Amino acid sequence: MNESTNILPQGAAVPFTPTLPTVSTHIYPRGGLDVLSREEVARLRDASAGGLHDLLRRCALAVLTSGSASDDPRAAAELYPEFDIEVGQQDRGVRIELKHAPAMAFVDGQIIAGVAELLFAVVRDLAFTAIDLNGDTELETSNGITDAVFRLLRNARVLHPADPNLVVCWGGHSIGQDEYKYTKQVGYELGLRGLDICTGCGPGAMKGPMKGATIAHAKQRRRRTRYIGITEPGIIAAESPNPIVNHLVIMPDIEKRLESFVRLGHGIIVFPGGVGTCEEILYLLGILLREENSHLRFPFILTGPTAAAPYFEQIDKFIRLTLGDEAASLYQIIVADPAKVAKTMDIGILKVKEQRIAQRDSFFFNWALHVPLDLQQPFVPTHELMAGLDLHHGRKSYELAADLRRAFSGIVAGNVKEDGLRRIEAYGPFEIHGDPDIMQALDALLRAFVQQRRMKISGDYKPCYKVVG
């Protein structure tokens, strides 16, 4: 292991040097990558050396800078321009070569154990996607996509055949200190009741519940705890995994990420957030509003501190205007009461358990939930597709929810995803069209997010969208 140095002969030209200290070394993976056939190793090496290499490099750099306060997907690459990663063969296993890796991922010359685990997860998931799902014709059907989600989660070893206890927590990466403290309090109450946490793996409302739960789990002497972070390649660089995540899963796209949440979790709590949080809310509503899912138990709670009450009032108003009161009846708003949130969720998950037993469905994967193909197919937000979204009254509520979800997904891409940033730089803001009252409500909601600094962690926010009434 060699730490990079910058020693030059006198009078020599000064070359480019890394902005921050770096380390070059090699590590040996464990857990899913430690026992592989020679053919598997060769395919893994080929995948990482081919078109997958740039993606692998970006995702690896994100986990090596875990805990970064930036949500700019290009920031880490600019700070560590010489970083590289290679997957090589070692007997019948793999060896990961790190070149000019961030020194912050190491202590006394050794990579931090938790960071190493996340790095192995990156290689594992990207390789599995490239090898197992590449050219899979089954991905053209709804059942095929669900099966692929199952295989990815199983390969990541997060499917545990135990009593239901996994709470999915959604919320913004850019939130105030009071809101962050509240997420910790809720996480603490959940942890006291033996509930594990699954989030989008990033900072803010994704870190807080995990941090609170760790204390409660320690108090209850729970040794087998799960802090699952589910992300996707387009978002991981902007929301690098927080240090508490002990199970990282990288899904191929946002749609499979969202399906993972609702298949894996037994209930969902939503904290204050921005457009990404709205996207998640609308995705779940678009599923629960379907007649096929009307009988399913799925506890769904929106919560935050007292100061967040107007935020949830605005969200609730927007949902009632666009999707109707039926959609609003699917969730419960609880303000400034962490214990009540946890108790309500605990009771709700008990009902989920009873229903799964009655329907002979698994505890660890929600097979009974119907997710239609149009919600599973990846939406790539181009200017043409964003302008063509059908945001008008007169449609079925779940159809409108699906297109509203896509609108928010496009704004997320324009805010923090590298591909989205490039499109905005090249062609200007996305245009969003629809009925005047929907556009007015959407514009008011987005303006509030900007004013409350829910779009970006730092710096002035320049909108990547234009609402056209």
Q: Where are the domains of the chain?
A: 16-123, 154-373, 375-468
Query: Does pTM surpass 0.95?
Result: no
CA distance 388 to 430: 11
CA distance 17 to 4: 9
Provide the pLDDT for residue 461: 83
CA distance 336 to 158: 31
Provide the pLDDT for residue 128: 82
**Which amino acid, 371?**
V
Give the DSSP letter string of 335-379: ES-HHHHHHHHHHHHHHHHHHHHHHT--SSS-TTS---HHHHS--
CA distance 344 to 181: 20
- CATH numeric code, 154-373: 3.40.50.450
CA distance 101 to 282: 39
Best CA proximity match to 326, nearest among 352, 291, 365: 291
Helix axes 38-49, 53-64, angle to 10 degrees: 90
Q: What is the pLDDT along the chain (469 residues), one digit of tens a residue?
A: 444 333 334 444 444 444 589 999 988 876 556 666 666 677 667 766 766 788 888 889 989 988 666 666 677 788 899 999 988 777 656 788 999 999 999 999 899 999 999 998 988 888 888 777 766 667 889 999 999 999 999 999 999 889 999 999 999 988 889 999 999 999 999 999 999 999 999 899 999 999 999 999 999 999 899 999 999 988 887 778 998 999 999 999 999 999 999 999 999 999 999 999 999 999 999 999 999 999 999 999 999 999 999 999 999 999 999 999 999 999 999 999 999 999 999 999 999 999 999 999 999 999 999 999 999 999 999 999 999 999 999 999 999 999 999 999 999 999 888 889 899 999 999 999 999 999 999 999 998 888 888 887 666 788 899 998 7
Provide the pLDDT for residue 2: 42
Best CA proximity match to 237, nearest among 101, 124, 70: 70
Provide the pLDDT for residue 53: 83
Provide the pLDDT for residue 182: 98
Burial of 416 (0-12, 13-18, 19+ CB in 10 A): buried
CA distance 442 to 78: 35
Burial of 75 (0-12, 13-18, 19+ CB in 10 A): middle
CATH class of 16-123: alpha beta
Provide the pLDDT for residue 342: 98
Best CA proximity match to 170, nearest among 239, 224, 122: 239
CA distance 139 to 42: 25
